Amino acid sequence: MAAIQSCVHTSHQLKNWLLQLDMAEVLVLYGSQTGTAEDVAESVGRALTRHYIANRVVAMDDYNIAELVQQPLALFICSTTGQGETPDNMRKFWRFLLQKRLPLTSLAALRYSCFGLGDTSYPKFNFVAKKLHKRLQQLGGTAVADLGLADDQHALGVEGALQPWLQQALTAVQRLPLLLITQMQSCTSG
Ligand SMILES: Cc1cc2nc3c(=O)[nH]c(=O)nc-3n(C[C@H](O)[C@H](O)[C@H](O)COP(=O)(O)O)c2cc1C
């Protein structure tokens, strides 16, 4: 009887894990004023694809933000424009996230990392990515890689910060399904 119960329990868990695996599409959300952050987001998407990781690249304001609470993994790529302002195509998204009524556990299921594009010749260097990173953390999200900050003044341009960040982010992303598979194996063998 105990064996049957444990088997039913395991198959239920297995179903849940498979569902989670199915949802393990990495979301790449971007905010870009003149197209550079969008290009970076597309190249991050291609890097994920090369590693056989399902992904979707979308502008923040074109994304249904209500789905973010169920999203296991998201990479945010955004520039800073004006004097420390958000790009036009992430304004709505950012306004939503800033609402005071949002519970501080809203994004407890989310693992994320932010990559910002900016220029140290501006006083508010990478202001938007820094604020976004902080707010996601405040809402319960867990950062899986350090905040990446690109600087137009870097000798290698955006690439100078992108490659080290991408390495970290890819390692973190690859850990999620491995973790689930390891969990499944330890349960089914035990
Ligand atoms: C008009 C303008 C304003 C900018 N303001 C800032 C700023 O306040 N802080 C910053 O770090 N970078 C600033 N930048 C640099 C951009 O963030 C950087 O060039 C970035 O790569 C642009 O990405 P995008 O094309 O996706 O908007 C500014 C650039 C421009 C052209």
**What's this model's pTM, rounded to 2 decimal places?**
0.86
Cα dihedral value 65, 145, 180, 16, nearest 10 = -10
- Alpha-carbon separation of residue 47 from 36, 144, 150, 167 (angstroms): 17, 17, 18, 10
Pick left, alpha or beta for residue 82 (phi over 0 → left; psi -120 to 50 → alpha; otherwise beta).
left
The highest-level CATH class for domain 25-179 is: alpha beta
Q: To test the ligand 1 pocket, which listed residue (60, 79, 132) has its Cβ within 8 A of the most ligand atoms?
A: 79
Nearest-angstrom CA–CA distance, 97 and 112:
15
- Alpha-carbon separation of residue 123 from 64, 84, 132 (angstroms): 32, 8, 18
Q: Is the beta carbon of 86 within 6 A of some atom in ligand 1?
A: no
Amino acid at 37: A
Give me the pLDDT at residue 174, please.
86
Give me the pLDDT at residue 17, please.
56
Give me the pLDDT at residue 12, please.
61
What is the number of the ligand 1 atom nearest to the C-alpha of 80? 17
Q: 3-state class of 98 per DSSP?
A: coil
Quote the ligand 1 centre to 125 CA distance (angstroms). 9
pLDDT by residue for the chain (190 residues), tens only, comes to 555 455 445 666 655 555 455 456 899 999 999 999 999 999 999 999 999 899 999 999 999 999 999 999 999 999 999 999 999 999 999 999 999 999 999 999 999 999 999 999 999 999 999 999 999 999 999 999 999 999 999 999 999 999 999 999 999 988 876 544 444 554 455 4
Q: Is 28 exposed, middle or buried (0-12, 13-18, 19+ CB in 10 A)?
A: buried
* Strand partners for 50: none
Closest by alpha carbon to 45, among 26, 20, 67, 23? 26
Q: Which residue's CA is minimally distant from atom 4 of ligand 1?
A: 81
Nearest-angstrom CA–CA distance, 24 and 44:
16
Give me the pLDDT at residue 25, please.
87
Give me the pLDDT at residue 182, please.
45
Nearest-angstrom CA–CA distance, 31 and 37:
7
User: Would you list the domain boundaries of the chain?
Assistant: 25-179
